[in-house]
Structure 1
Amino acid sequence: MKKTYILIIIIFTLFVQNSYCQTNELYNEMFKWKISIPTIFENVNIVESEQFKDSGKKMFENSTGQKIVNKSIKIYSLKNEKYNRFIANYQPTDSKKNYSETFKSVYELMNDALKKQMPTAEIEFSISSEMIDKIKFETCNMKITYPNKMIVNLISYSTIIKDKILNVQITYENEEKGQLLLNAFKKSKFDK
């Protein structure tokens, strides 16, 4: 009986590990971007994707008192459970001028908006840049700790490629699933 129980645990563990290792190969022609996303992440339907985008827009508008015009166009929207998400979108731009400063300003406003909307949450915030397949991405890291001790991480990457701003947002509360998404994005390939 004990051997059967141990065998069941081993098989279950191998099954879980294998499901985490299987990936879907995604390719975006516009950015010539290849990424392998673990199969545990599923596509988000368009209605849920728009609701998620609208809730963020409303939070920002309520905090800043400014009307936001969101011209982003969805590339991918994937999730596993409620808070583990991978979102990629783009928007046209006609300027590369001071993009680092623009990115920093937008995310400082977002940080202020989150602090107004969630005054009891602890928010850690940093801006940096990171190279992904020889392309410089502006990066924002936010770690939000709620009063109930739940932690949600939000990492945003953004760059300009061929007059388009490519935005990638990885949100997670499950550390292991978050690392799967971060590793997948950091291994992305962009054909130049």
Structure 2
Amino acid sequence: MKLKLYFLTLIFGFCIGCNSSAPNEEKSKLETYTSKEVGWTIEIPEGYKQLSKTRMEANEKKGKDAIGKVTDEEVNTDKLIHLVNFQKNQFNSLIATAEIYDTKQNGDLLASNQPVKKMIYDTYTNQKIKVDTLSGTEVIAGYKFYTFNIKLYGPSGQVLMDQIMYNQIINGYDFGVTVNYNNETDRGILMNAFKNSKFIK
């Protein structure tokens, strides 16, 4: 089984939530981000700051280490393109990635998502984290995205964080966005940023 790299961003997002403080040292002047690979532009909301490449790589390593505890699969992220990652604080962020996707080689996107969803679930439960998950679809900016919702609970049953993963093939890339939030206000801000983003068709 080929480990789908995009799903690692769910784990990366949780690593941000558990191990990071607000990104005071990160870039703060960027107002919009454009991906030439996907042909996508998003406005970064006021109060959110883009993470540096160094921070993203550190979060990636933590995610890979966590997944390595539940699978013998080699986790190779060489082909994963980190597009943009911005956050307000340790629990509220948006992460976007892209990975070249060949349907002839990798098969149907929805089918290829399924085994890795289980791997994500197993990774969390292996850390004694209670999770609820839900899969579905949602239309964003004219594209029908596959969705994977995760709700993470603390030891006493309180909700720690919600994560929503979106992915779809765009311009030959498995384009993915993960939204992490712990309150409805920031959920609204992040979702509005994604829903109002633009694709060149």
Letter in 2 for 1:156: M
Flag structure 2 segments of 5+ consecutive residues without an equivalent: 1-29
Please report how far the alpha carbon of residue 25 of structure 1 lies from its aligned counterpart in structure 2 after TM superposition: 3.2
SS at match of 2:103: coil
Matched, 1:63 2:73: no
1:42 corresponds to 2:49: yes
Work out the CA distance in 1 between the residues paired with 2:147 and 2:60: 19
Deviations 1:26-55 (A, max 9, x none): 322322212222121101111111111111
- C-alpha distance in 2, partners of 1:137/1:79? 22
Aligned residues: 168
Structure 1 residues not aligned, in runs of 5+:
1-22
Counterparts of 2:108 and 2:164 in 1: how far apart (Å)? Answer: 21
Higher relative contact order (CA 8 A, sep 6+): 2
TM (norm. structure 2) is 0.77
- Whether contact under 8 Å (1:63, 1:117) holds in the other structure is no
Q: Distance in 1 between matches of 2:61 and 2:188?
A: 26
Q: 1:45 is aligned with what amino acid?
A: S
- Whether 1:26 and 2:33 are equivalent positions in the alignment is yes
Distance across 2 between alignment mates of 1:86 and 1:185: 9
Task: Tell me which stretches of 4 or more aligned residues in structure 1 moved more than 6 Å.
Answer: none
Match of 1:19 in 2: none
Report the TM-score, using the length of structure 1 for normalisation: 0.80
How far has the Cα of 1:123 moved from its partner? 0.8
The one-letter code sitting in structure 1 at the alignment partner of 2:143 is I
Higher helix share: 1
Identity of aligned residues (%): 26
Deviation for aligned residue 1:65: 2.9
> Which residue of structure 1 lines up, in the alignment, with residue 136 of structure 2?
128
